[in-house]
Amino acid sequence: MTLLELEDIEKAYENEEVLHGVSLGMEQGDVEVLVGPSGAGKSTLLRCVNRLTEIDAGTIRLAGESIHDLDSNDLRQRVGMVFQDFNLFAHRTARGNVTLGLEEVLGMDHDEAVERAEAHLDQVGLAEQADSYPAELSGGQQQRVGIARALAMDPELMLFDEPTSSLDPELIGDVLAVMNDLAAEGMTMLCVTHEMGFARSAADTLTMLDGGRIVERGPPERLFENPQHERTESFLGQFTDFE
Amino acid sequence: MVVSGALRSLDPALTRTAIVLQSGDWGVVASNFDFLLVGTAVTILLTVSSLVLGFLAGFPAGAIEVYGTGRLRGLVAGAGVVLRGTPIVVLMMLFYLGLPIPQLGTVPGLEIRVSPFIAATLALGLRSAAYQGQVFRGAIQSIDDGQMEAARAIGLPRRGAVRHVIFPQAVRRALPGFQNEFTIVLKDTSVAIAIGLAELLTRAEYLFVQPERSTAMFELILAVSAIYFVLTFATNRTLDRLQTRYAIPEGDG
């Protein structure tokens, strides 16, 4: 089943074109990684999917339905997002970060929300840290709480916006492990990341974005081994050289 | 000094000598301490009523300045500018003389008239609202945009995000500013002397304007400053504790 369809997406900020005619489709269970130089429009594209940013033109469909026909809050319950800077609620414990949406958005009673939150914290390896506040956690732990917070809403699609870019190198592994597990469990994931190891191992599709356009899109092996465009080759080359 | 004060009150001749000598006159303070304490109670009551009004009006005012639109926001911002731009003594006289506050009689025990108390509460409270609104506006604006985004991203409507994510953090950040405002209001209650409200300073003045007690003017003022100091000090310590207690835990680094 086609879960997410983007058709001719256009987006400009103050006359500066960010996305120009971007189209792509994702089947349920697909893992897609978006790569490209900074300013390519990767994060903007991601944010358009849960309407943190509104598109200027084009159509985005989630499970066949235009997201602009949905209430944006309903849409966001169905589409989880993980942020580069974690954005954990600073005044709430790890558990409290997860329960907020469960109680206030899904209307769960407190005990049920706590139980579900703790299950999801356990899933990301943070059962012990449920009572910790974000400032008491490492970056890697914070990001895993961020993932648990999004997962607890039981989303159909997960968006990852450079989830490891703010992390110290030694903390990236734990976050990627959680993302790998999710991919293996069949979660549909659209990820902006520079982790090429993750792209190679977990992604079904790799999409190269530059200047607001899709340069090339296909299985990661093909883009790495046999890129059709010089731009893709030079961009991915920066990473493969070091591997 | 207490002894000499007591002696003088017995002997009018000695009192006259004392005026010439300007010697200490703590007996007047001691014998009128209860009288000053009633004024202190009025000061505390006026501080509390003004701060409550200031918070009730200032908290929404700050929120409206950040999240409001159009005419309402303009109105709130404009009222703030006027209230912050007028001296508190002028404001108090304006409210006392200009507002149709009915003569409601007196409060037994505190020996104050109700109408100047209302005027003083309005002046101090609304001016405090104008400042508390700024404190709160700044606190809201200091919260990282990512907090709102993360709240919206899990499907919370804007109102829910403000209530559950922004406000709880903003109120904590506003505490030092509120603390400042609390002590300012407490001290500025003394301005109510201008409209004859019998608070602490007014009562002290009532004592030293009488010829037989005029020798104790400096002692009375000194006693009054000590009382104000004790009040502000106690308030600050209490609010310090509150801040520590409600601080968001942070790691060692």
Q: Residues of chain B whose C-beta is under 8 A from some C-beta in A?
A: 144, 146-147, 149-157, 160, 164-165, 168-169, 172, 248-251
Contact list, A133 vs chain B (CB under 8 Å): 248-250
Which positions 200-239 of A are in contact with B (Cβ < 8 Å)?
none
Cβ within 8 Å, pair B154-A52: no
- Summarize pLDDT for A132-154 with one digit per residue, the tens: 999 999 999 999 999 999 999 99
Q: How far does B165 lie from chain A, in Å, by closest CA?
A: 7
Confidence band for A241, pLDDT divided at 50, 70 and 90: low
Cβ within 8 Å, pair B149-A150: no
Check pLDDT > 60 for residue A211.
yes
| CA–CA distances in Å: residue A112 to residues A102, A148, B56, B106, B129 | 9, 16, 35, 56, 41
pLDDT of residue A101: 97
- Summarize pLDDT for B96-120 with one digit per residue, the tens: 999 888 878 888 888 888 899 999 9
Q: Does A50 touch chain B (CB under 8 A)?
A: yes
pTM of the model: 0.86
pLDDT of residue B24: 63
Contact list, A150 vs chain B (CB under 8 Å): 153-154
Rounded Cα distance between A176 and B44, Å, is 59
Contact A48, A60 (CB under 8 A): yes
Cβ within 8 Å, pair B152-A76: yes
pLDDT of residue B253: 43
Q: Does A149 touch chain B (CB under 8 A)?
A: yes
Contact list, A105 vs chain B (CB under 8 Å): 154-156, 160
Nearest CA in chain A to B251: A136
How do strand B106-107 and strand A213-218 relate by DSSP bridges?
unpaired
Which residues fall within 8 angstroms of residue B238, CB to CB, at 6 or more apart?
A: none
Tokens of B246: 């409600």
* Beta-carbon contacts below 8 Å between A and B: 76
CATH topology of domain B38-246: MetI-like fold (1.10.3720)
User: Could you tell me the sign of the dihedral formed by the alpha carbons of A13, A14, A17, A22, in that order?
Assistant: positive
Contact list, A74 vs chain B (CB under 8 Å): 155
**Cross-chain CB nearest to A87 (options B149, B168, B249):** B149
Contact A220, A209 (CB under 8 A): no
CATH for A214: 3.40.50.300
Q: What SS3 state is found at A79? A: strand
**Cross-chain CB nearest to B164 (options A50, A90, A100):** A100
Contact list, B249 vs chain A (CB under 8 Å): 132-133, 135-136
Q: What percent of chain A has pLDDT over 90?
A: 93
Q: How many domains does chain A have?
A: 1
- Summarize pLDDT for A85-122 with one digit per residue, the tens: 999 999 999 999 999 999 999 999 999 999 999 999 99
Domain with CATH 1.10.3720.10 in chain B: 38-246
Domain that holds residue A111: 2-240
